[in-house]
Amino acid sequence: MTFTYEPSAGVESVDVCGAWNEWVPEAMKPKKSGEFSITKILKAGENYEFGYKINNTLWATDESCSLVPSPFLSHNSLLAL
């Protein structure tokens, strides 16, 4: 599964964090297009909550996924494989 995040101006780093690895941030690589991406091997038939950590401070969700409430008064993206 390839995760891609298209940031607004001023974004220097993007990490993907998800349930597949206990929410440990994983650095995404910047592309020439300005997007950040990372490819992960995930088990088919599972649902995974995740989000993007922007510049080590802001939390962002993936607009192409459903949202679910998080325990931190925000939302996580839900990926169904």
The reported pLDDT for the residue numbered 80 is 94
* 2-80: CATH number: 2.60.40.10
For residue 50, the cross-strand partners are 18, 77
The reported pLDDT for the residue numbered 5 is 96
Helix (H) or strand (E) holding 2: strand 2-5
- Categorise residue 73: left if φ over 0, alpha if ψ from -120 to 50, beta otherwise: left
Helix (H, G, I), strand (E, B) or coil at 67: strand
Tokens of 37: 């991406």
CB-based contacts of 78, cutoff 8 Å, min separation 6: 47, 48, 49, 65, 66, 67, 68
What residue segments make up the domains of the chain, in order of their start? 2-80
Residue 65 pLDDT class (50, 70, 90 cuts): very high
